[in-house]
Structure 1
Amino acid sequence: MQTAMPQGHTRLGSTLVTGPATGPQAPSLAGPIGPLGRIGTLEVRLARNEAEIEAAQEIRYRIFYDELGARSSLDQIDRRDSDRFDPLCDHLLVLDNSLTGPEHRRIVGTYRLLRQEMATAAGGFYSEDEFELRRLVARHPDLRFLELGRSCVLPQYRSKRTIEALWQGIWAYLNHYGIDVMVGCASFPGIDPAAHAEALTYMAHHCRTSADWDVRAVGRRYHPMAMMPVEEVNPKAAITAMPPLVKGYLRIGARIGDGCVIDRDFSTVDVFIVMPVKEIAARYISYYGGDGQSYAA
């Protein structure tokens, strides 16, 4: 999974929502408190206190705002990327234990995890502003959904080892909570879908979800992905042009929803990823699932 994260980061989700956190507190601190994975000096676990969550939000701000140029209508004088969903999410952390100082200053990467029951408490998933996720969930009332989002890694840690550590943690989390389906958005840079016409057209024809798992961009934001004749698409060039995160998800076995969305706050073109756990490629289940299961108790 060396290419599972574009330049070490992505913002999985919809339009930026800022302001004070409200609503019920997530039971994240009641979840698994031990390590969810380890590779070398890197340890993966959930945030255990507010200091660690705030440190993760600081890293998100440095990457999304300082590095990628995200913008907000609100002043963020604390230089933390935060929204109303943060108190409801579990915050997966990668820590480098070779660093000195308090644990919250050893955080080098983060992933935000929103379980279905907490999304219900929040009035919906974060990405519902861009995609009709609620309809997808309603078609599968017996399955448990998990939304992945706000993933980022500090520049010096953007490596295969860090990505593998994160996926160890995700697999352990899936096993601990009995998650059936992972969903979220993945982003192409810029706000012009035509700049990615070949890659988006390829995905529209070759990577779409089955009817049972289909999810569509909301009507007011829908933009078609098929923007050129399919016979003119060079598959190799199309795949090469995809952000590493998208290629990584497709390699695992993820499929793509219908339509893309322009997110002007983050200057991205977003596609929707659907990953039923039982349909993920067996080699990845074997590679990550064994370690994930051992940490999931």
Structure 2
Amino acid sequence: MVTEILEYDIRERNVVISALPVSQKRNDDVFGRIGPLETRLARNEREIDAAQNVRFRVFVEEMGARLPAEAMRRERDIDAFDLVCDHLLVLDNSIEGDPEDQIVGTYRLLRQDTAFANNGFYSASEFNIEGLIDRHPTKRFMELGRSCVLPEYRTKRTVELLWQGNWAYAVRHRMDAMIGCASFPGVQPEAHALALSYLHHTCGAKGDWAAAALPELYCEMDMMPLEAINPRRALFAMPPLIKGYMRLGAMFGTGAVVDHAFNTTDVLVILPVSAIANRYINYYGGEAERFNG
């Protein structure tokens, strides 16, 4: 499950980008910097714990998610996947204190080899992705999830750094495709009939890339015929994060899933690296060097 991030347009930018020393670019886990903001992987358990608290503040306090009692008591969004995932962070270095006090955004990243050696992919709890992966035996998948940013940091800079981190991570680990659950707010799919129908008709994954919601969780996305859809209104009704995935060239699985615990309606994002729009690759750099000086 992922939450919304403020929409942005990479063509409209006015940022000061700092250069990283060559030694850092080669050896460090820092993927990029814009002003005081920095994106990198979590380095220790304290930083992961702080990222889980950021997730709690967004998912529970802001969006109304209902987590297990222990998670609610600890004020942490936490599950078994956290133990095996890498945790991408955005930090504000202008905040005084320890690094864990500076975390303002996060993404959870899971590579296929790690997933298969442990609990599988989180997405498999809602969508049938086994066939999708089996049809691409030479491709390496990674899962993006648990995306959130504190309200005061939902800006172009933060979002650009999150995508810089995702892209740099994919390049570093030679990933071929990204998957993950993206969310509409609320547990009534019909409230999003326009947007869900638009995804179904215009961005539905086909052929070797097709995947569907698990039968026992399946909710119809095809609630309106294509000729009844106003594309501009459909895009306006789309959560910003899902719209961002669309701009990158993502496809979406068939059927949505209601996640009562997180108070969301989820769709499956399928994004082959080869499908990412050239203008985004040109922007972030083929080797993800855009914000590394």
Among 106, 131, 141, the residue aligned to 2:137:
141
State the alpha-carbon separation in 1 of the partners of residues 234 and 290 from structure 2: 38
Query: Which residue matches 1:178?
Result: 174
Q: Which of residues 224, 238, 244 is equivalent to 1:242?
A: 238
- What is the TM-score when the length of structure 2 is the normalising length? 0.88
The answer to whether structure 1 residue 54 and structure 2 residue 54 are counterparts is no
The aligned residue for residue 65 of structure 2 is 70
Give the conservation status (yes or no) of the 8 Å contact 2:284–2:290.
no
Residue 6 of structure 1 aligns with an amino acid whose one-letter code is E
The aligned counterpart of 1:278 is 274
Q: Secondary structure at the residue paired with 1:221?
A: coil
Kept in 2: contact 1:42–1:95 (CA 8 A): yes
Alpha carbons of 1:106 and 1:73: their partners in 2 closer, same or farther (altered >3 Å)? closer
1:269 aligned counterpart, secondary structure: strand
**How do residues 87-126 of structure 1 correspond to structure 2 at under 5 angstroms?**
87-126=83-122
| 1:3-55 deviations in Å (ceiling 9; x for gaps) | x972559xxxxxxxxxxxxxxxxxxxxx9643111111111110011110000
C-alpha distance in structure 1 between counterparts of 2:27 and 2:116, whole Å: 21
Partner AA of 2:259 in structure 1: D
Counterpart AA for 2:52: Q
Q: Distance in 1 between matches of 2:291 and 2:128?
A: 33
Q: State the AA in 2 paired with 1:271.
A: V
What's the counterpart of residue 44 of structure 1? 39
Residue type of the partner of 1:188? F
Asked whether the equivalents of residues 29 and 40 of structure 2 are also in contact (C-alpha less than 8 Å), the reply is: yes
Describe how 1:202-221 pairs up with structure 2 within 5 A. Answer: 202-221=198-217
Aligned pairs for 1:128-207 (under 5 A) are 128-207=124-203
Aligned residue identity for 2:183: S
Which runs of at least 4 in structure 1 moved beyond 3 Å after TM superposition? 293-296
CA distance in structure 2 between the aligned counterparts of 1:189 and 1:281, rounded to whole angstroms? 27
Percent identity (aligned): 54
Is 1:127–2:123 an aligned residue pair?
yes
Q: Aligned-pair distance for 1:289?
A: 2.6
Mapped to 2, the partners of 1:213 and 1:32 lie a distance apart of 35
Relative to the length of structure 1, the TM-score reads: 0.87
Contact 1:37 1:292 (8 Å CA) reproduced: no
Question: Structure 2: which 5+ residue stretches go unaligned?
Answer: 8-25
Alignment partner, residue 19 of structure 2 = none
* 1:172–1:295 Cα contact (<8 Å) kept: no
Q: 1:32 to 1:74 in 2, by over 3 A?
A: farther
Query: Structure 1 residue 79 and structure 2 residue 99: aligned?
Result: no
Q: 1:34 is matched with which residue?
A: 29
Residue 231 of structure 1 corresponds to which residue in structure 2? 227
The CA distance in 2 between the partners of 1:34 and 1:189, in whole Å, is: 33
Deviation readout 1:158-183 (Å, 9 max, x if unpaired):
00010001111111111110011000
Give CA-to-partner distance per residue, 1:113-132, whole Å, 9 cap, x none. Answer: 01111111223101101101
User: How many correspondences in the alignment?
Assistant: 272
Q: CA RMSD in A?
A: 2.0
1:262 Cα deviation from its structure 2 partner: 0.7
